[in-house]
Chain A
Amino acid sequence: MPTTYVEAIREGLWEEMERDPNVLLIGEDIGVYGGAFKVTAGFLEKFGEKRVVDTPISESAIVGASIGAGLMGLRPVAEMQFSDFISCGFDQIVNFAAKCRYRWNAPVPIVIRAPSGGGIHGGPFHSQNPEMWFVRTPGLKVVAPATAYDAKGLIKSAIRDNDPVLFFEHKGLYRRIKEDLPAGDFTVPLGKAKLVRKGRHLSIITYGAMVWVALEAAERLEPEGIDIEILDLRTLAPLDRDAVCETARKTSKVLLLHEDTQTGGLAGELTATLTERVWEYLDGPILRITAPDTPVPFSPPLEEAFLPNAEKVIEKARWLHRY
């Protein structure tokens, strides 16, 4: 039976908790209620309240307590109810967790799960993509899976990793996508991108929910004879720059696509990397398709205009193909 993205995360957490007694969950409404998105429904009954800890509305305490428990050898998985609220725990993440290993050789093996992304009419405070606040903080790892397989494999790798990992799971994908997953234990390595579609004419480099937008655009462009390659970054920090350069060298044309807003978004960093490393291979300008620099609006026509979609990708891809 196919497994949804949300079920894949749940399975990953469950299996890691069965495998390692040092893994525990901490967050708001995750126990009795099972989490705002029901990712942890049934965990309290199975693992008990010492391993599934309901907290006050205190994001800084959730992250800080995870750090403290992590320093003592546990492997806490903290849940931010919505990634938008992660700013309330910002200092603990970027100043405490991120710097412990570098400063005093102290590992902080924690995972912070953060449901992110728009397209669900959540408005300015339930739709954001705050990954870049953390991608640019040395010492943090940042993951954004696009598929059920990667979601399960990456949550397991994140839990087993000895550094702090931010795990951005896209709420819009929770129950929208599903696939058959292999039985038994498997992991997906952190820091490795995946080529999800091979093509000759043009590369789209993207991550998270936008992988599906890129796939839709590629299918619709196929009848026009435009053959698109898609690279799913999967991990945003540390970035798989080798894979980024490899696809650019192959197709010589690059479209960068993300749901996050434009200024300071990952596309800028990718552009710089490509310019530095593979400039002489490129046959056209590097183009960005991103959300504009506005808060995420609530009303459906506004949100639709805000989010990148297949039409916007197709238009830019045609232009770049002709270039």
Chain B
Amino acid sequence: MSAAELITPHPGGLASEQAEVAHRGLYYMSLMREVEDRIERKLYRQGKILGGVYVGRGQEAISVGTSLAATPEDVLLPSHRDMGLFFVRGVTPARVFAQYMGRVGGLTRGRDGNMHMGDLKLNIISIISAMAACVPVGTGVAMALRYQGKNAVAFCFFGDGATSRGDWHEGVNFAAVQKLPVVFVCNNNQYAYSTPVEKQMGCANVADRGPAYGIPAEIVDGNDLLAVHEAAQRATAHARSGRGPYLMECKSFRMTGHSAHDAADYVPKDLWDQWSKLDPIPRLESKMIEQGLATQGEFDELHARVRAEVDEAVAWAENSPYPDPSTLLDDVYE
């Protein structure tokens, strides 16, 4: 059974809180899709963006649904496919484009590229390239949150491939032993670069790893914004109550290559077909129409607005200067 068949459609009607989550979530997912499409399919090909480009096409519901369940005091440690949470936290698309273009206006001022960005004022910790390195760090963040008496949690994101690394196991185990308020969020997009999940681990699900560490784990339909949001609320309630970490495995699919240069010929065609029917954006739109929350006309308007916002952001980023080489030696130390 493929992961696409394991996940079930979200049942039931929408309460008013859910309606708001749906509206906000649709906007942020659409914005993430538009920004990443522009990066991967236009600016990269035009040579305006250099270096690695890793996007989360098809996985937007995970970062958006989770971060919409977080309070501003909660700390987010995104993976490289979680751009949506930056927008939820108030980072502008303009700054993200500048980041990708290596401009001063980017979050790292040209010191680093792509999704390697964070902002302590927004409680977002920057990822590094080594997968799962953020897991022990997320555990330490949670240790500090508890130490400081905050009723906050750390959301630590990673992919299926990252769960093969020792850092993942050390970090999860330590968090479990200390009963720390961490929500571990797996973007299971079925592939780590070219390696399918069945060559990554002997168990069927990342969630199966949870019980080995004595922590609750659940499988979530990662392409259903509302299901992700609900699961994140359950996970956060657990973590906030002092009962320790919680593992959410969000089943999804990477609707693109590992990076912009990767055609992903190794992915069987029927998988693309199967998962393209589960695209989280049209799925949410159908649900909203079904529930009488919006009309197709409103969606068309929303997408037009997002495109205009992104046009403006690209223009801003292109006008942001490159860093001055005379700053090369700054900030190695305080």
Closest to B106 in A: A104
B170 touches A64 (CB 8 A): yes
A/B interface sample: 30 pairs, CB < 8 A: A24-B147, A50-B147, A56-B173, A61-B136, A61-B170, A61-B174, A65-B136, A67-B137, A68-B136, A68-B140, A68-B143, A68-B144, A69-B144, A72-B140, A72-B145, A72-B148, A91-B133, A92-B136, A95-B128, A96-B133, A99-B128, A101-B334, A102-B111, A103-B111, A104-B112, A106-B125, A106-B126, A107-B334, A163-B333, A238-B333
Asked if B119 is at the interface (CB within 8 A of a chain A CB), the reply is yes
B200: min CB distance to chain A, Å: 19
Asked if B120 is at the interface (CB within 8 A of a chain A CB), the reply is yes
Given the complex of chains A and B, what is the CA–CA distance between A141 and B333 in angstroms? 9
**Which B residues are in CB contact (< 8 Å) with A162?**
334
Asked if A139 is at the interface (CB within 8 A of a chain B CB), the reply is yes
Asked if B308 is at the interface (CB within 8 A of a chain A CB), the reply is no
B140 touches A106 (CB 8 A): no
Asked if B52 is at the interface (CB within 8 A of a chain A CB), the reply is no
Question: A-B contact count, CB below 8 Å?
Answer: 133
Point out which of B126, B130, B140, B147 has the most chain A C-beta atoms below 10 A from its C-beta: B140
Given the complex of chains A and B, what is the CA–CA distance between A73 and B140 in angstroms? 11
B170 touches A104 (CB 8 A): no
Given the complex of chains A and B, what is the CA–CA distance between A238 and B140 in angstroms? 27
Given the complex of chains A and B, what is the CA–CA distance between A101 and B120 in angstroms? 11
**Which B residues are in CB contact (< 8 Å) with A68?**
125, 136-144, 154
Quick one: given A162-B334, A163-B334, are A65 and B174 in contact (CB under 8 Å)?
Answer: yes
Asked if A275 is at the interface (CB within 8 A of a chain B CB), the reply is no
**Which B residues are in CB contact (< 8 Å) with A95?**
128-130, 133
A181: min CB distance to chain B, Å: 28
B172: min CB distance to chain A, Å: 9
B136 touches A91 (CB 8 A): no
Number of A residues with CB within 8 Å of any CB on chain B: 41
Interfacial residues of chain B within 228-262, with CB under 8 A of chain A in the complex? none
- Taking Cβ atoms with an 8 Å cutoff, the residues of B that contact A are 75, 107-108, 111-112, 116-120, 125-126, 128-130, 133, 135-145, 147-148, 154, 166-167, 170-171, 173-174, 177-178, 331-334
Given the complex of chains A and B, what is the CA–CA distance between A195 and B44 in angstroms? 56
Closest to B182 in A: A68
**Which B residues are in CB contact (< 8 Å) with A55?**
174
Given the complex of chains A and B, what is the CA–CA distance between A26 and B112 in angstroms? 30
Asked if A177 is at the interface (CB within 8 A of a chain B CB), the reply is no
Asked if A70 is at the interface (CB within 8 A of a chain B CB), the reply is yes
B139 touches A91 (CB 8 A): no
A101 touches B332 (CB 8 A): yes
Given the complex of chains A and B, what is the CA–CA distance between A55 and B173 in angstroms? 10
Asked if A63 is at the interface (CB within 8 A of a chain B CB), the reply is yes
Given the complex of chains A and B, what is the CA–CA distance between A71 and B141 in angstroms? 7
Closest to A237 in B: B333
A304: min CB distance to chain B, Å: 37
Chain A 21-39, CB within 8 Å of chain B: the 1/0 string?
Answer: 0001000000000000000
Quick one: given A60-B166, A68-B137, are A104 and B333 in contact (CB under 8 Å)?
Answer: no
A65 touches B334 (CB 8 A): no
Chain A 66-95, CB within 8 Å of chain B: the 1/0 string?
Answer: 111111111010000000000000011001
Point out which of A60, A63, A70, A138 has the most chain B C-beta atoms below 10 A from its C-beta: A60
Closest to A64 in B: B136
Given the complex of chains A and B, what is the CA–CA distance between A107 and B334 in angstroms? 8
**Which B residues are in CB contact (< 8 Å) with A61?**
136, 139, 167, 170-171, 173-174
**Which B residues are in CB contact (< 8 Å) with A72?**
75, 140-141, 144-145, 148
Given the complex of chains A and B, what is the CA–CA distance between A24 and B178 in angstroms? 15
A56 touches B170 (CB 8 A): yes
Given the complex of chains A and B, what is the CA–CA distance between A92 and B166 in angstroms? 12
Asked if A299 is at the interface (CB within 8 A of a chain B CB), the reply is no
B332 touches A102 (CB 8 A): yes
A16: min CB distance to chain B, Å: 16
B112 touches A139 (CB 8 A): no
**Which B residues are in CB contact (< 8 Å) with A107?**
334
B108 touches A73 (CB 8 A): no
**Which A residues are in CB contact (< 8 Å) with B140?**
64-72, 76
Closest to A238 in B: B333
Closest to A162 in B: B334
A168: min CB distance to chain B, Å: 18
Given the complex of chains A and B, what is the CA–CA distance between A109 and B79 in angstroms? 24
Given the complex of chains A and B, what is the CA–CA distance between A72 and B138 in angstroms? 11
B147 touches A69 (CB 8 A): yes
Closest to A106 in B: B120
Closest to B173 in A: A56
Q: Which of B130, B144, B174, B177 contacts A91 (CB 8 A)?
A: B130
Quick one: given A99-B128, A139-B332, are A91 and B167 in contact (CB under 8 Å)?
Answer: yes
Asked if A294 is at the interface (CB within 8 A of a chain B CB), the reply is no
15 more CB-based (< 8 A) A-B contacts, given A72-B144, A104-B107: A60-B136, A65-B143, A69-B143, A71-B120, A72-B141, A73-B144, A74-B148, A92-B167, A96-B133, A101-B332, A101-B333, A104-B126, A106-B120, A106-B125, A139-B332
